[in-house]
Amino acid sequence: MSQLQAIDLTCIRRDRALFSGVSFDLEPSELVLLSGLNGAGKTSLLRILTGFIRPDEGRVMWQGESITNDITRRAFAQQLVYIGHKSAVNPLASALENCVYWCEQQQLTTPPSVIFDVLTTLGLVGLEDVPCGQLSAGQNRRVALARLWFKQSATVWILDEPFTALDVAGIALIEQHITAFCAGGGSVIMTSHQPLVSITQWRDITLEYRI
């Protein structure tokens, strides 16, 4: 059974249909690359898939059940990591504090030593206690992407422009992590304005811009 299903999804914003009749299955070990011009509705589709917003028509199914069902939505949330276009990092808190807070939100028991190891992997060694408001855009993005290492129970990643503000080395690291996640049975749907370099297998879904 598909992990995640989109069935005849329609999204209308300001009297304009961004997309309609969008259907697809997200299979285990699959990477789906969502593309389309700005304004085509890519971010809206990703947010619909997470359950943050509801489609104007259609359904999102998790393991055969609608995510509008409270029990299904909670079960889905336990296996989901969503990283939006904005990093959603508290600028007044340090990288370490942001990671601890996110893990607590997700009810994850993550020792500080593990968080330090992940931040080191992401090239943030020595910056763990610096307020994120003093870090660069790329460093803040790395703090947000640390979430991909913490939630070991996750089977689905929904990523909106994960490579934003990253340098070549940062992009390579995230691509490597995505590849390993899919190889272990995980599913990813993502957007990216940058071409994939080291990832060799994915399925394209393109949203057409509608006037």
47 has a pLDDT exceeding 60: yes
pLDDT of residue 64: 93
Q: What is the pLDDT of residues 166-189, one digit of tens each?
A: 999 999 999 999 999 999 999 999
40 has a pLDDT exceeding 70: yes
pLDDT of residue 2: 67
Distance separating alpha carbons of residues 76 and 154, to the nearest angstrom: 9
Angle between helices 95-105 and 112-121 (to 10 degrees): 120
Per-residue pLDDT band for 209 (boundaries 50, 70, 90) equals confident
pLDDT of residue 210: 80
Q: What is the pLDDT of residues 106-155, one digit of tens each?
A: 999 999 999 999 999 999 999 999 999 999 999 999 999 999 999 999 99
pLDDT of residue 1: 55
Q: What is the pLDDT of residues 8-36, one digit of tens each?
A: 999 998 888 999 999 999 999 999 999 99
Q: What is the pLDDT of residues 59-116, one digit of tens each?
A: 999 999 999 999 999 999 999 999 998 889 999 999 999 999 999 999 999 999 999 9
Long-range contacts from 117-120, C-beta under 8 angstroms, 24+ separation: 118/146, 118/149, 118/150, 119/95, 119/143, 119/146
> Could you tell me what percentage of the chain is helix, strand and coil, using 3-state DSSP and rounding each to the nearest 5?
35, 25, 40
Does this model's pTM top 0.85? yes
Distance separating alpha carbons of residues 72 and 70, to the nearest angstrom: 5
Tokens of 187: 């599913």
